[in-house]
Amino acid sequence: MTAAGFLARFHEKAEHNQYWYSPKTIEAITQEVLDGDATRCAFLSTPSVFYSLPPDSKARQNSAVFDLDPVFGEDKEVEYVQYDFNKPEAIPASLHGTFDMVVIDPPFITRDVWEKYAAATKLLLKENGRILLTTIGENAKMLAELMPGVKPRVFKPAIPNLIYQYSLYTNYDSERLAEPNPEIPEDDEI
């Protein structure tokens, strides 16, 4: 499925506070996952990126989508984990330390929510694993505390139905993410 295919099939749900990235942003993040050396990725509240990976790619076949919305578990060929971010301790122990990369976009931007996503990330990620996440720029200092090594990047995600601008953070360097997103007007760049 392509980014456009995902957006046509799955509509944002207010009850889950879902706001999808634009097709170009989905493609950029998807390519970041594919170009990295990760063999298994956990997609925490980022179904748009997971479902936009080529179905025959190792990144898609070996990865898992973690989301509260059960619609993402309907495809039996997908490793789906029903994920309530309030209960990171409920993540099955068999998944602990099995992911090279975690991609995160929580439904809320507060510290208490990020503390729970950070706990889930620590459970899931292998040593020296990669983290890619999106949230507001004002969360940079907090994220540095919760996930040491995570830094904001130049590339900013476009999220058409969200009223404020998010930033993208990683714990690794990336040439792609060192460039501005052409979808974001220069006035919005920080």
- pLDDT category at 189 given cuts 50, 70, 90 is very low
Provide φ and ψ at 159, rounded to 5°.
-130, 95
* Per-residue pLDDT at 2 exceeds 50: yes
Residue type, 181: N
Who has greater pLDDT, 6 or 111? 111
Position 141 pLDDT exceeds 70: yes
Mean pLDDT of the chain: 85
10 Å Cβ neighbour count for 66?
26
As a whole number of Å, the CA-based R_g of the chain is 15
Q: Give the pLDDT mean for 48-56.
A: 86
- pLDDT the model gives residue 190: 44
3-state secondary structure labels for all residues of 103-121: EECCCCCCHHHHHHHHHHH
**How many degrees, rounded to 5, is the angle at CA 132 between CA 128 and CA 133?**
135
Average pLDDT of span 56-77: 81
Amino acid 162: pLDDT: 65
Amino acid identity of residue 76, one-letter, is K
Q: What are 73-123's pLDDT values in tens digits?
A: 667 677 889 889 999 999 999 999 999 999 998 887 889 999 999 999 999
* Helix, strand or coil, per DSSP, at residue 132: strand
- Which domains occur in the chain, in start order? 3-188 (3.40.50.150)
Strand-by-strand arrangement of the 64-67 sheet: 79-82, 64-67, 41-44, 99-104, 125-136, 166-170, 151-152
Q: What is the pTM of this model?
A: 0.87
169 contacts 155 by C-beta, under 8 angstroms: no
Q: What is the Cα–Cα distance from 120 to 66, expressed in whole angstroms?
A: 10
